[in-house]
Chains A and B, each alone.
Chain A
Amino acid sequence: MIPSKEDFFNALAAKHGSELQKKFAAASVAVCGAGGLGSNIAIALARAGVGRLKIIDFDKIEVTNLNRQQYFADQIGLFKAQALKENLFKIAPYCEVTAEVTKITEENVTSLLKGFPIVCEAFDKAEAKAMLVNAILENMPETYLVAGSGMASLNPANLIKTRKITDRFYLCGDFTNDVDAGTGLFGARVLVCAAHQAHTVLRIIAGEFEV
């Protein structure tokens, strides 16, 4: 038996405080990319009681994703955005999730992210990350942007940090270790970066802007 919406709210309010929980419930966050960063960010935000999430990803789940991405073996072949929506529903049934199977481009970014004052960049390719960050900072100056860069390799998890680059642009990662260097991509370390991003989002919603 699934608890009611009120039961969920009260359980979270007992952990976070009622005033803060109201802010989380009223928040809308877009997650661009539903891979190692995005799937973990979305789950953390849904578990915290964020009211509305938009998941945007064009890709399908592959067996190589399962070391770090929040999917199940029987979901291989499905679109990530849609599979993540299903998984989020099992975790947080009252979180309003929109799944968009689309490739984000400079042309569609503003329309896709309209109505979402907080955006997480959770792509894997460096060029795509730069494209999204530039497009948002240039065209959506009111948007809070939380991006990830540098979580590959088995280097210490402690190297992963959150930096505040400008008033509305936060960057999480070690800023250095590129997956293209061939040093591997370890689920736990990717999760550390995703947790930095998700936690930064919660702090922004709470009105805490320092890092």
Chain B
Amino acid sequence: MTKVNGKTEAVTGLNIAEIVEKFGYNPARVAVELNGAIVPKARYAETVVKENDTLEVVSFVGGG
């Protein structure tokens, strides 16, 4: 059971870059945490999500 932003999703085996794209996020607007730790942007393509991982994709919106 892999969770993305609190919901169970079929993303096991995908890397972070693929997941960001799959859910339609703009890569320039996100910060991604895997099991509570930030995933450096440079490692999105090489970081593969495993079974039981918890992923949080924070997608920023404009205004301030």
Contacts and interface: CB of A to CB of B under 8 A. Distances in A.
A37 interface: yes
15 contacts: A36-B63, A124-B62, A126-B26, A126-B60, A129-B60, A129-B62, A130-B29, A133-B58, A148-B64, A149-B60, A151-B63, A167-B36, A173-B61, A179-B61, A185-B63
A134 B61 contact: no
B35 to A, nearest CB: 10
Contact of B37 (A38, A147, A166): A166
Nearest to A189: B63
Given A134-B41, A137-B38, A166-B37, A176 B61 contact: yes
Nearest to B42: A138
B14 interface: no
A180 interface: yes
Contact of B63 (A38, A124, A127, A130): A124
Given A130-B28, A138-B38, A166 B33 contact: yes
A178 B28 contact: no
A51 interface: no
Secondary structure of the B side of the interface?
mixed
Contact of A152 (B29, B38, B61): B61
Contacts of A58: none
A148 B37 CA distance: 19
B30 interface: yes
Given A134-B41, A152-B63, A185-B63, 11 more contacts: A37-B64, A38-B64, A124-B64, A126-B28, A127-B29, A129-B29, A149-B60, A165-B33, A166-B37, A178-B63, A190-B64
A125 B58 contact: no
Contacts, number: 81
Interface in A55-96: none
Interface string A122-147: 11111101100110011000000001
B33 to A, nearest CB: 6
A49 interface: no
Contacts of B29: 126-127, 129-130
Q: Output the residue of B26, B29, B30, B60 with the most chain A CB within 10 A.
A: B60
Give the most central of A38, A125, A134: most B CB within 10 Å. Answer: A134
